[in-house]
């Protein structure tokens, strides 16, 4: 069951908290068993289809990997405005009756990951506001770097905030403008600095916006006459949509009774789509900017083999995100690919807080080394990133305990040294192992026989895609090279990570 539920329309608003603890196995507490980067959020929008809420359900289900904390759908038929939000997975928050009660032909939906401090229903999206022209719902993916500065200015002039979400800041900026809704939204969006994809729903229109650098993915599709939007193309494929195109940096799409109007709120700046989407976050069956994720990851593995070959008996990938790259490494070298590591898919949430000893063992709940595969073998272990180093050490040790004679670690990204300001929840810079250790020191720390990272050039060439000839391949590589595509210093009034 969902842990908290919130259902309503503009006049009805109930909240009940049934569970307020941490999910230790979900990545929401410090010192989590896995120190991997945390997914951000996913958005899904429909305009002009009578089964908007069912489509949103299936679309959000396909985006579940982008956020397991909460889910929500807001729908309108042009007259009524209804929504339902809850803590938990999409399948826990919504059942058949709930979906059938959300009647309308236009909708926005959201799945959310959040840090533990923000793990509460008031931040679950879509957020719904009373606006002077009617109800307004907003869903977002990403992070507004200058949000603390704008929030402080708004508070100084009388605004009262109910959430810590960026979304509410956008709503306040829109509400304060004397202009009509679309113009007010355009002005408000132009004040934001960061990486974001926004869906804004009113009874008579849907607005779709992407930040001027295109940092966060957002794709448009069609189902018959209807328009659909999603953070990843896999969600559009799930509902049988025809993929039309990615939303361009700085674009503002307006959908209303006249159909689609392609407009913008800002001139496009340096294209800088998040490279970690390709490396780790997005599903392998998604396409971003003309590149399929599985194919791109295979190329990363192949390139890794060219840049940092090591002879071995088998290649294995850390599931799930590194399996494609491991296949690429194996194809390039001729070393057989084997399932040396198996992920237990059914550990979703565990409500028991473990002792430290059990916690150390807990990695085996999520991941197992296959003894009959790795015993007596020299293993190349492909992974996508090293954050603090603790996870890598545990996985290397799993392989050694299962009898691997050598473990060579190959990482399909450059060393992760800098925090993200655009929607990825990263630890403090001082906790990022690559920021304070050499590669050989890291190798010793994770107990590997050898360690190598993909070069930035190798990463860019492997990803390819529509923007491959642009500066840095049209990618954001800031967490690797400290070259941020936007201003990130607002005199201490800036925000890192994710605050969807």
Known binding-site residues equal 274, 321, 383-384, 420, 476, 479
The values of phi and psi at residue 43, to 5°, are -125, 155
Tokens of 38: 């945390």
Q: Does 479 bind ligand SF4 (CB under 6 A)?
A: yes
List binders of ligand SF4 among 128-157 (CB under 6 A). Answer: none
List binders of ligand SF4 among 257-276 (CB under 6 A). Answer: 274-276
Q: Which stretch binds ligand SF4 (CB under 6 A): 55-63, 159-167, 381-389, 473-481?
A: 473-481
- Min dist. Cβ of residue 272 to ligand SF4 (A): 7
Binding residue positions for [4Fe-4S] cluster? 274, 420, 476, 479
500 as an active site residue: the answer is no
- Min dist. Cβ of residue 422 to ligand SF4 (A): 4
**Distance separating alpha carbons of residues 164 and 157, to the nearest angstrom:** 18
Q: Does 215 bind ligand SF4 (CB under 6 A)?
A: yes
Q: Does 218 bind ligand SF4 (CB under 6 A)?
A: no
Between 377 and 499, name the residue whose CB sits nearer to ligand SF4: 499
Between 304 and 476, name the residue whose CB sits nearer to ligand SF4: 476
Query: How many Å from the N-terminal Cα to the C-terminal Cα in the chain?
Result: 23
Between 380 and 424, name the residue whose CB sits nearer to ligand SF4: 424
Between 276 and 288, name the residue whose CB sits nearer to ligand SF4: 276
Q: Does 249 bind ligand SF4 (CB under 6 A)?
A: no
Q: Which stretch binds ligand SF4 (CB under 6 A): 47-55, 196-204, 288-296, 475-483?
A: 475-483
Kindly determine how many residues on this chain lie close enough to bind ligand SF4 according to the rule CB under 6 A: 12
Yes or no: say if 163 and 142 are a contact pair by the CB < 8 Å rule.
no
3-state secondary structure of 18: coil
Q: Which stretch binds ligand SF4 (CB under 6 A): 166-174, 224-232, 416-424, 490-498?
A: 416-424
DSSP string, 281-328: IS-TT-EETTEEHHHHHHHHHHHHHHHS----SEEEE-TTTTHHHHHH
Q: What is the largest CA-CA distance in the chain?
A: 72
- Min dist. Cβ of residue 384 to ligand SF4 (A): 12
- Where do runs of H (alpha helix) occur along 439-489? 439-446, 456-463, 478-481
Q: Helix %, strand %, coil % for the chain, to 5?
A: 30, 25, 40
**Distance separating alpha carbons of residues 328 and 124, to the nearest angstrom:** 39
Distance of CA 368 to CAs 61, 322, 443, 468, 499, Å?
A: 26, 15, 21, 37, 33
DSSP string, 105-174: SEEEEEEE---GGG-SGGG-SSEEEEETTEEEEEEEEEEETTHHHHHHHHHHTT---S-S-HHHHHHHHH
Q: Residue 442 has what DSSP assignment?
A: H
Q: Does 476 bind ligand SF4 (CB under 6 A)?
A: yes
- Min dist. Cβ of residue 458 to ligand SF4 (A): 15
Q: Which stretch binds ligand SF4 (CB under 6 A): 108-116, 132-140, 407-415, 420-428?
A: 420-428
Among residues 59, 195, 221, 301, which is the contact residue for ligand SF4, using CB under 6 A? Answer: 195
Between 56 and 143, name the residue whose CB sits nearer to ligand SF4: 143
Among residues 424, 433, 459, 463, which is the contact residue for ligand SF4, using CB under 6 A? Answer: 424
Among residues 478, 486, 488, 500, which is the contact residue for ligand SF4, using CB under 6 A? Answer: 478
Q: Which stretch binds ligand SF4 (CB under 6 A): 145-153, 322-330, 351-359, 418-426?
A: 418-426
The values of phi and psi at residue 224, to 5°, are 60, -125
Among residues 388, 422, 446, 474, which is the contact residue for ligand SF4, using CB under 6 A? Answer: 422
Among residues 193, 420, 432, 500, which is the contact residue for ligand SF4, using CB under 6 A? Answer: 420
Yes or no: say if 192 and 211 are a contact pair by the CB < 8 Å rule.
yes
Tokens of 309: 């070959």
Catalytically annotated residue among 41, 74, 234, 500: 41
- 178's enclosing H/E stretch is none
Q: How far is CA 439 from the centre of its chain?
A: 28
Catalytic residues: 41
Which spans of this chain sit near ligand SF4 (rule: CB under 6 A)? 195, 215, 274-276, 420, 422, 424, 476-479
């Amino acid at each position: 069951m969902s842990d908290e539920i919130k259902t309503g329309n503009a006049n009805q608003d109930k909240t009940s908290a049934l569970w307020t603890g941490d999910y230790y196995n979900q990545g929401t507490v410090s010192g989590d068993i896995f120190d991997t980067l945390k997914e951000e959020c996913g958005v899904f929008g429909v305009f002009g289809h009578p089964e908007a809420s069912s489509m949103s359900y299936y679309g959000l289900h396909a985006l579940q990997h982008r956020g397991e904390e909460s889910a929500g759908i807001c729908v309108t038929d042009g007259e009524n405005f209804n929504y339902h939000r809850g803590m938990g997975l999409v399948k826990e928050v919504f059942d058949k009756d709930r979906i059938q009660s959300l009647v309308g032909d236009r909708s926005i939906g959201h799945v959310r990951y959040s840090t533990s401090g923000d793990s509460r229903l008031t931040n679950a999206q879509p957020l719904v506001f009373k606006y002077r022209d009617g109800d307004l719902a907003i869903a977002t993916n990403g992070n507004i770097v200058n949000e603390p500065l704008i929030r402080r200015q708004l508070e100084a002039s009388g605004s009262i905030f109910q959430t810590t979400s960026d979304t509410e800041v956008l709503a306040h900026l829109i509400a304060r403008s004397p202009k009509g809704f679309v113009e007010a939204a355009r002005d408000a969006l132009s004040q934001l600095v960061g990486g974001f994809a926004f869906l804004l729903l009113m009874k008579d229109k849907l607005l779709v916006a992407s930040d001027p650098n295109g940092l966060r993915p957002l794709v448009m599709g069609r189902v018959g006459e209807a328009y659909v939007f999603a953070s990843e193309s896999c969600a559009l494929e799930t509902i049988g949509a025809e993929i039309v195109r990615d939303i361009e940096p700085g674009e503002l799409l307006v959908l209303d009774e006249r159909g689609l109007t392609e407009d913008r709120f800002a001139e496009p700046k340096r294209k800088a789509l998040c490279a970690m989407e390709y490396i780790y976050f997005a599903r392998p069956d998604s396409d971003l900017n003309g590149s399929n994720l599985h194919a791109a990851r295979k190329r990363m593995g192949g390139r890794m083999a060219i840049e940092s070959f090591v002879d071995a008996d088998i290649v294995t990938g850390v599931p799930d995100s590194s399996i494609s790259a491991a296949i690429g490494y194996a194809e390039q070298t001729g070393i057989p690919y084997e399932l040396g590591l198996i992920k237990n898919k059914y550990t979703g949430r565990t409500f028991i807080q473990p002792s430290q000893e059990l916690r150390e063992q807990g990695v085996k709940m999520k991941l197992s080394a296959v003894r009959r595969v790795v015993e007596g073998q020299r293993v190349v272990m492909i992974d996508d990133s090293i954050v603090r180093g603790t996870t890598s050490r545990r996985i290397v040790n799993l392989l050694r305990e299962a009898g691997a004679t050598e473990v060579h670690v190959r990482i399909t990204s450059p060393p992760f040294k800098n925090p993200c300001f655009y929607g990825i929840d990263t630890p403090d810079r001082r906790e990022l192992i690559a920021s304070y250790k050499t590669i050989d020191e890291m190798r010793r720390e994770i107990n590997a026989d050898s360690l190598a990272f993909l070069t930035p050039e190798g990463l860019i060439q492997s990803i390819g895609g529509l923007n491959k000839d642009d500066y840095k391949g049209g990618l954001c590589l800031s967490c690797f090279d400290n070259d941020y595509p936007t201003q990130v210093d607002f005199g201490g009034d800036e925000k890192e990570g994710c605050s969807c």
